[in-house]
Structure 1
Amino acid sequence: MVSPVVWTATVVLIIALLAFDFFFHVRKAHTPSLKEAATWSAVYVGIAIAFGLAVVVFGGSEMGTEYFAGYITEKALSVDNLFVFLIIMTSFKVPAADQQKVLLFGIVFSLIARTSLIFVGATLINQFAWVFYLFGLILLVTGGNMLRSHGENGDDGENIVIRLTRRLFHTTEHYDGDKLFTQVDGKRALTPMLMVMIAIGGTDILFALDSIPAIFGLTQNTFVVFTATAFSLMGLRQLYFLLDGLLDRLIYLSYGLAAILAFIGVKLILHALHENTVPFINDGEPVTVTEISTNVSLSVILGVLLVTVVASLLSPKGRAQTAINNARHHVDRYLDMSYETDQERREETYAKLQRESAAIKLLPPKYRKLIREEPELLRKLERAKQIHDKRIDEGHGSSIARSLP
């Protein structure tokens, strides 16, 4: 039993971290450098690990193992969520400097939504043992759905909430800095900044419906569930910029997460059978089954993630997909004058295009031909070259088109 003092101190710590993130990083619109993103991602992971060690010291090894198993699972699921965040922000063409504010809003909204579901879930579990069956089935179904590609599951940002908002309120297609409202023809209008926050918030609720049953499958300790979930969300903003360009490389991540969710789903159903009170199952009596320990769960989760990430990074298909998708992302960003107003940063984007063209050139022939099957991408690359050549002396700019295989 965790004391109210510890609960209060933990909540204050989390709020303080969010406030620090806003006032020292997000309040002034800017695009984080790779160094900044990497540094603060490491800081937040370090804080989460330090908190976990404190749980081990003051709560015992079992409680600490539950925390780390929950934290790692929720962190892995949050990385998968970044795919959808990327799709939404690309759909709304959110300027690079303003993406931090959108992500921080998503983190805060997600924390609020998940905290509500945590306490609802804890109440249901305490009152009704059959809820474990329900949670287990949800995870099995979710794991099956994850086997579909992100392209099939992609959210273009135009979900039902957005469409309804556009019908009911006066909206504009143009950003006004990071303002949520602006004036158009003398009328107050909702900017795309507010619209994308609504889209992110809506998807956060769907994510919570998957992640909360997953962590309850590892522990029923409400304090552990809450803290593991909260700390997995801390640093998600920095992780987005750190993994930008690498997300598409993790081509087997969905398979790994599907396996993890299915594993936890089976664990939940076994626990439900052990605690069974459902009349039509074994006449309402507990079923003798072997339950999966938290230590085994942690080992399986780490093992699956390790295999998934290594296989993705070493896969030739993963390298090919990364280079081509990154070229697509960066050429769109370079051509979109509103995406990055800092010319130095735009030239950094162009430099990335050059590196990606070199990477494509080194791919095996069967993968190099993939880019030639995308004429629209080739036209954009040539357009980027023309714009770049206008800014520098002729002959100094590297030709992306000539470097392609």
Structure 2
Amino acid sequence: MGVSPLIWTITVVVILALLAFDYFFHIRKAHVPSLREAAIWSSIYVGIALVFGVLVLIFGGIDMGAEYFAGYITEKALSVDNLFVFLIIIASFRVPREDQQKVLLFGIVFSLIARTAFIFVGAALINQFAWVFYIFGIILLLTAGNLLKKDDESDEANNFIIRLAKKLFHTTDTYDGDKLFTKVDGKKVLTPMLLVMVAIGGTDILFALDSIPAIFGLTQNVYIVFTATAFSLMGLRQLYFLLDGLLDRLIYLSYGLAAILAFIGVKLVLHALHENNLPFINDGQHVPVIEITTGLSLSVIIGVLVLTVLASLFSKAGKAQTAVNNVRRHANNYLDLSYTADLAEREHVYAQLVQEEAYVDTMDKKYRDKVKDIEQIRAEVARAHHEHDEFRASGNI
């Protein structure tokens, strides 16, 4: 089904309106969103995406609707994986808790811009050169392999762009609210807020390199590719705060995403063989191979994600790893005095630490003792308790 310019215009206006609403009603005033606020708005954005999918199903037909939902679910899953990297970047730059929303919204807007550019470039290439499917397929297969050997200890913030920015420009290590520039000794300097946005923007471009080929492997309808990608990014900010502390529990998510990307990569290669016109493959003739349907793709994507999430949630080793990592994160957040200036938030972080410690104590000792750097983590937790006792004794709380 062709999509008229009017529908395109309405869609783009609605997406821009949602982003503007998010900024003016939630981001302008720096605050830490409550769990209830994050849950409500995450549900609203998912609901909007689902309603849009139903409209596509009604007006575009079953095939177009199935393509949208397959693309949306795949892109949403990839965006959740992106949150892990956002978490690393934000932690690396020690972004104050109350200012993290602005960083995340910038990441979402930049993601949308980068992905839109890749979508139209990819669509133009596909229309002109069928062999592009081979390249997309190989990219996804390589990405799947990289996910399996991903190093969780990597410092995503310490990339070339950031190092270059620090060498070329005057920068400061301290934040001035959510300002991008501030003055130190009368000189205008860059704040870490601008640098963290540059870091997230740079990683967003890398994310687009695997997310766009993935969705083109499910549909070549540019409108569906764009809307599924855009709606998967909507509500990502709220989802970050909703899943904060739970992201580490999805220890097998990278394996599930690797399986999905590998599956779509194979689907793309098969499609490329079916459409083949390269002279050195089968003398430039189409290769008779099976074609994977959209329905099968949707079933595989949902099935793999469900298995991945269930395995992560119910694995004893996974639970122990997650809980101990959460204890460490809460202790580090408390020890980092620049993490937040809000006393109530500091009490909240400490309460999370105590609650998570109590949960770890209920676990089998053999699982929690296997966690990497367990002795170092225990020392950090002890320091957090000591500083909290001194903080209270000083009358600050």
TM-score range for the pair, normalised by the shorter chain length: over 0.9
What secondary structure sits across from 1:151 in the alignment? Answer: coil
Match of 1:14, SS state, is helix
What whole-Å deviation, never above 9, does each CA across 1:206-249 have from its counterpart, x for those lacking one?
A: 00000000000000000000000000000000111111111111
Taking the aligned partners of 1:229 and 1:267, their CA distance within structure 2 comes to 19
Equivalent residues of 2:68, 2:225 under 8 A apart: yes
Q: Deviations over 1:102-160 (max 9, x none)?
A: 000000001001000000000000000000000000000000110014425x3330111
Q: Distance in 1 between the 2:134 and 2:374 partners? A: 47
Counterparts in 2 of 1:82 and 1:150: CA distance versus 1, 3 Å: farther
Q: Which moved more, 1:218-227 or 1:357-366?
A: 357-366
Distance 1:288 1:390 in 2: 73
**Shift of residue 391 of structure 1?**
5.1
Distance 1:202 1:255 in 2: 24
**Cα 1:52–1:372, aligned 2, differ >3 Å: closer, same or farther?**
closer
**Distance in 2 between residues matched to 1:164 and 1:177, nearest whole Å:** 24
Change (3 A) 1:187 1:264: same
Partner of 1:322: 322
Query: Does the 8 Å CA contact 2:328/2:377 hold for their aligned counterparts?
Result: yes
Distance (Å, rounded) in 1 between the aligned partners of 2:368 and 2:113: 46
2:242 aligned partner: 242
Query: Match for residue 102 of structure 2?
Result: 101
TM-score for the superposition, normalised by structure 1: 0.95
**Residues 141, 373 of structure 1: alpha-carbon distance in 2 compared, 3 angstrom cutoff:** closer
**Within 5 A, what are the aligned runs for 1:5-404?**
5-151=6-152, 154-370=154-370, 373-390=373-390, 392=392
Moved more, 307-316 or 158-167: 158-167
Residue pair 2:321, 2:371 contacting (<8 A) in 1 also:
no
Q: TM-score, normalised by structure 2?
A: 0.97
Give the distance between the partners of 1:155 and 1:131, measured in 2 at CA.
33
Greater Cα offset, 55-64 or 354-363 = 354-363
Q: Which sections of structure 1, spanning at least 5 residues, go unmatched?
A: 398-405
**Distance in structure 1 (CA, Å) of the matches to 2:274 and 2:375:** 58
Q: Distance in 2 between matches of 1:162 and 1:386?
A: 35
Q: What residue number does 1:403 align with? A: none
Aligned equivalents of 1:3 and 1:213: distance in 2? 24
The worse-fitting range, judged by mean Cα deviation, of 41-50 and 375-384 is: 375-384
What is aligned with 1:402?
none
Alignment partners' CA distance in 2, 1:188 and 1:389: 39
- Matched to 1:83, the amino acid is F
Report % sequence identity.
69
2-side partners of 1:187 and 1:234: how far apart? 38
Q: 1:263 to 1:371 in 2, by over 3 A?
A: closer
Give the CA deviation at 1:276. Answer: 0.5
Alignment partners' CA distance in 1, 2:183 and 2:262: 49
Aligned residue identity for 1:135: F
Q: What amino acid sits opposite 2:53 in the alignment?
A: G
SS in 1 for 2:369: helix
Taking structure 1 as reference, are residues 82 and 170 closer, same or farther at Cα in structure 2, changes over 3 Å only? same
Give the letter aligned to residue 178 of structure 1. D
| C-alpha contact (below 8 Å) 1:274/1:289 kept by paired residues | yes
Please say if residues 372 and 378 of structure 1, whose CA atoms lie closer than 8 Å, have aligned partners that are also in contact. Answer: no
What is the SS of the residue equivalent to 2:183? strand
CA distance in 2, matches of 1:58, 1:298: 20
Q: Shift of residue 386 of structure 1?
A: 2.3
Output the CA distance in 2 between the equivalents of 1:137 and 1:116.
Answer: 21
Residues 180 and 191 in structure 1, CA contact (< 8 A), matched pair in contact too:
yes
| Partner Cα separation in structure 1 for residue 261 and residue 86 of structure 2 | 21
Q: Which runs of 5+ in 2 are unaligned?
A: none
Structure 1 residues 137 and 49: alpha-carbon distance in aligned structure 2, compared to 1, 3 A threshold: same
2:108 is matched by which residue type in structure 1?
I
Please tell me the residue identity of whatever aligns with 1:122.
A
1:194 and 1:236 map into 2 onto residues whose CA distance is 20
More deviation in 141-150 or 308-317? 141-150
Query: 1: CA distance between counterparts of 2:79 and 2:373?
Result: 33
1:227-273 CA distance string (max 9 Å, x none): 00000000000111111111111111000000000000000011111
Alpha-carbon distance in structure 2 between the residues aligned to 1:372 and 1:144: 24
What letter matches 1:70 in structure 2?
A: G
CA contact (8 A) 1:140 1:261 kept: yes
Q: 1:390 to 1:261 in 2, by over 3 A?
A: same
Q: Counterpart amino acid of 2:117?
A: S
C-alpha distance 207-373 of structure 1, shift in aligned 2 (>3 A) = closer
Given residue 29 of structure 1, which amino acid in structure 2 is its aligned partner? A
The structure-2 alpha-carbon separation of the partners of 1:375 and 1:280, relative to structure 1 and needing over 3 Å to count, comes to: same
1:104 alignment partner AA: L
Alpha carbons of structure 1 residues 35 and 150: separation in structure 2 relative to 1, 3 Å? farther
| Whole-angstrom CA distance in 2 between matches of 1:391 and 1:85 | 30
Q: Secondary structure at the match of 2:271?
A: helix
Q: Post-superposition shift, 1:388?
A: 2.5
Distance 2:69 2:255 in 1: 22
The letter of the residue matching 1:232 is S
